[in-house]
Amino acid sequence: TAHPDDQLLVQKAMNLKNYFCSDVLCRGEYNPMTERYFQEEKIRIRIEPEDLQILKEGTVDFFSFSYYMSYCDSVIQKQESGQGNMNTGGANPYLETSAWGWQIDPKGLRYYLNEVYGRYRLPVFIAENGLGAIDVVEEGKVHDPYRMDYLKQHIVQMEEAIRDGVDVFGYTPWGCIDLVSLSSGEYAKRYGFVYVDRQDGGSGTGKRIPKDSLAWYRAVIQSNGKNL
């Protein structure tokens, strides 16, 4: 909400969840909010003077991250819980969700690209982005327009971020071929451009079937994102 307490909560969450590690990697120092966090949580970290120098000298050349979704947070308004992989929070009523309840927020990608580039002024690489969905084989083929639509929306917003001035130099979707989902431990949640005939419980032949999205994404790559 627009309540000041919620705005402070979101700012704290961004600093202690998203920037907690990346400030060390990109700036060579801990986020200022971590000192209070360590004190309140009674966490003591032994740091020698030479450690701080090593951190300063060991920063990265570019910033990379995985992006699947966003979520909300509030101390003022009770929210329906949103689903996710590592971080979860309140559901956003303005967003659609996947079959597994993950919020689909392409513009959130543009938002975060602008945030991290404005903060670090480092080239940015999107390491993971994709949709876990239930794919069905029909007459030897897999039609997955929902996956193409998801990726298209995110690629369009990535282009918008580039037009905003963000130096985005790479993007890789997750993933190229179906595999066991890390977050749910199941085959039923499929991400790949290639279907693998393997089901939960281990049954299946292992046969691979190219999905419609494979030919589509090949054209996207060949046109450097122009042919969507």
Q: Is the pLDDT of residue 119 over 90?
A: yes
Per the domain annotation, does 227 fall within a domain?
Answer: no
CA–CA distance, 204 with 201 (Å, rounded to integer):
9
Q: Are residues 50 and 67 in the same domain?
A: no
Band of the pLDDT at 185, cuts 50, 70, 90?
Answer: confident
Residue 199 lies in a domain: yes
Q: Is residue 227's pLDDT more than 80?
A: yes
CATH number at residue 102: 3.20.20.80
Domain that holds residue 102: 61-222
Whether 88 and 46 share a structural domain: no
In the chain, the DSSP E strands lie at: 63-66, 96-97, 103-104, 124-128, 137-138, 141-142, 168-171, 194-196, 208-210
Q: Is residue 68 part of a domain?
A: yes
For residue 78, is pLDDT > 80?
no
- Count of domains observed in the chain: 2
Q: Residues 194, 93: one domain?
A: yes
**Is there a single domain that holds both residue 171 and residue 93?**
yes
Q: Is residue 228 a part of any domain in this protein? A: no
Asked if residue 98 and residue 52 are part of one domain, the reply reads no
**Does residue 125 share a domain with residue 66?**
yes
Q: pTM score, two decimals? A: 0.92
